[in-house]
Chain A
């Protein structure tokens, strides 16, 4: 029996960078609690960075939980699937996450990120307040301000990567830098 998937290749690929945490699989509240608590422990020596990475992680992991187009079923559960990655350089922590999104939502998502990236910090705070004051959107389970909050908290642009997987879905990933 041949194994199509080489664990060693996977290991080598993610070993290239200094990885603090790497996860791919169902993103559930329980998994989020474990990983977020791990982030707090590992970054405890730098309270400011720890708070920021934690806060960014929580918002973006919740986005996967609510909006990932990839679901996996175990018995009667249906979980969202996504990737969560914390890497570290000399000066920064980098948090990245990725998941499948319905292709029809990609344009709107990219536009939102472009808008966010075009604004200054003060403009972002104003934009967040405006959005928070708006009534709840139908598709939204959250406050609809997660991405703005992430840009403010990380004080860095949202870096996007979008790949068309097929007509229905695209892989969408987002990466932000947090200064140590």
Chain B
């Protein structure tokens, strides 16, 4: 019987600020460190976040831990729904026994940004770590 081994590639999207704002994405298939950084206001919000979700779904099939690093300075409400879907998925795999860490980096004085993290924590039940910078 032939076994086909396909290895998951890193997901890397260069952040861009033009008419729309694309966040910087660097999901590492080797280390499991997944960075989502910058500003998120997209023309095709659902497609964008679905792509990230699909990558996480593939990665979750491995035994390796996942470290999700969020460093977002601005995201619109549509993006926040996309982010929520990613976090809900992470919670579901954590419940299945996967080692999941979620770090939320925020500007020290940005109360609104901190509240967003608290709301995601409340919504998903994930132990989101708040880290000021």
Contacts and interface: CB of A to CB of B under 8 A. Distances in A.
A55 B74 contact: yes
**Majority secondary structure, B binding face:** helix
B112 A129 contact: no
Given A29-B19, A132-B80, A143-B78, A48 B119 contact: no
Interface stretch (A6-14, A77-85, A99-107, A145-153): A145-153
B41 A58 contact: yes
Interface residues of B, number: 20
B99 interface: no
B119 A51 contact: no
A52 B19 CA distance: 19
A67 interface: no
Interface in B72-115: 74, 76-78, 80-81, 84, 109-112, 115
A54 B73 CA distance: 12
Interface of B: 18-20, 41, 43, 74, 76-78, 80-81, 84, 109-112, 115, 119, 122-123
10 contacts: A32-B19, A47-B109, A51-B112, A54-B74, A58-B41, A59-B76, A59-B77, A129-B123, A141-B78, A143-B81
Given A32-B19, A54-B74, 11 more contacts: A29-B43, A51-B74, A128-B119, A132-B77, A132-B123, A141-B78, A142-B76, A143-B81, A145-B80, A152-B115, A153-B112
